[in-house]
Structure 1
Amino acid sequence: MTDTTALPPRDGWLAIRRGLSNRCPSCGRGRMFRALLKVNDHCPACNEALHHHRADDFPAYLNIVLVGHIVVPLVLAVEMAFAPPYWMHAAIWLPLTLSLAFALMHPIKGAVVAWQWAMRMHGFDPEGDKSDPLPAATTPRCAN
């Protein structure tokens, strides 16, 4: 492990704000995404490497939790106050849930990648441990 105290500190909150706006966590000018949820390999503005990110399923989990914490209390409040029929619940909550989930996909993933950059996780540390990269795909050998 490398001593990260020699490296200049990175402002985590600034990086996360930039990530929420889908901008490069380093410069804040370049776009983070090149396709729907594909992160650019490098920032188009400052050439910062972004391909190290390992967001995996964490943005999806955050999206589910956030949308659930918004929609479920609203559903319960509307049910208790008005008791609308089930078809009206479906007409209200299904579009709201889908639109919130899709609207939050980019900001959440951008914030997760920016947080990883700010914390120097997963290869974002230039002096990190190079001896253990992601394991290469290996084929199992037959004992025969």
Structure 2
Amino acid sequence: MDGRDPGTKKGQPGTAAAALFGLCPRCAGKTLFARGIRFDRRCRACGLDYERFNVGDGPAAFLTLAIGALITGLAIWLELAVQPPFWVHVLLWVPITALAVVFGLRVAKAWLIGAEYRNAAREAGGRAP
């Protein structure tokens, strides 16, 4: 096994690699993000138009629930186990939450754009290109 998805063609990155490193789903160039969590307009290596993909707000909604539940659980556990002062919670959980959301959004958005490309997804009722 080479660790790639069964639907991956030669030269295309696997879903996990593309998501973790922000790789173009067509050529594997590290060109998916312009900065932060904003997609570039197109791949600088192969010209794939990223604007035709629509990942929507799904990743943000899912991450809000998942990361919120995880951080809340960890904060409650810390409070019950150690009972630190309030400022410790603030210094600990605010940066962890911010980093988890930003990194999580990059990974989730990259994974969804890769899945859309790999499955040739399009709007309901739309025509194939």
Q: Same fold (TM over 0.5)?
A: yes
| One-letter identity of the residue aligned with 2:73 | P
Q: Give the 3 Å change call, closer, same or farther, for CA 52–103 of structure 1 in structure 2.
A: same
Aligned to 2:99: 99
Q: Does the CA contact (< 8 Å) of 2:21 and 2:30 recur in 1?
A: no
Q: Does the CA contact (< 8 Å) of 1:75 and 1:93 recur in 2?
A: yes
Q: Does the CA contact (< 8 Å) of 2:37 and 2:102 recur in 1?
A: no
| One-letter identity of the residue aligned with 1:95 | P
Q: Give the 3 Å change call, closer, same or farther, for CA 74–110 of structure 1 in structure 2.
A: same
Q: Does 1:11 align with 2:11?
A: no
Q: Does the CA contact (< 8 Å) of 1:63 and 1:105 recur in 2?
A: yes
- Offset, 1:25: 1.0
- Residues 76-99 of structure 1 deviation map (CA, whole Å, 9 limit, x = unaligned): 221121122323222221122122
What's the C-alpha RMSD, in Å, of the aligned pairs? Answer: 2.6
Aligned to 2:21: 21
Partner SS state of residue 38, structure 2: coil
Distance in structure 1 (CA, Å) of the matches to 2:32 and 2:62: 19
Aligned to 1:134: none
Distance in structure 2 (CA, Å) of the matches to 1:34 and 1:97: 23
Partner SS state of residue 56, structure 1: coil
- Offset, 1:16: 4.5
Q: Kindly, what percent of the aligned residue pairs are identical?
A: 21
Distance in structure 1 (CA, Å) of the matches to 2:84 and 2:119: 47
Q: Does 1:48 align with 2:45?
A: no
Aligned to 2:3: none
Distance in structure 1 (CA, Å) of the matches to 2:93 and 2:19: 28
Q: Does the CA contact (< 8 Å) of 1:16 and 1:114 recur in 2?
A: no
Please state which structure has a larger fraction of its residues in helix: 2
Please report the TM-score for the alignment, with normalisation by the length of structure 1. Answer: 0.67
- Residues 94-115 of structure 1 deviation map (CA, whole Å, 9 limit, x = unaligned): 1221222223232221112111
- Spell out the pairing of 1:35-74 with structure 2 (5 A cutoff): 35-74=35-74
Aligned to 1:140: none
- Offset, 1:49: 2.6
Distance in structure 1 (CA, Å) of the matches to 2:8 and 2:70: 29
- Offset, 1:35: 3.6
| One-letter identity of the residue aligned with 2:93 | W
Please report the TM-score for the alignment, with normalisation by the length of structure 2. Answer: 0.73
Larger radius of gyration: 1
- Offset, 1:11: 2.7
| One-letter identity of the residue aligned with 2:47 | N
Aligned residues: 118
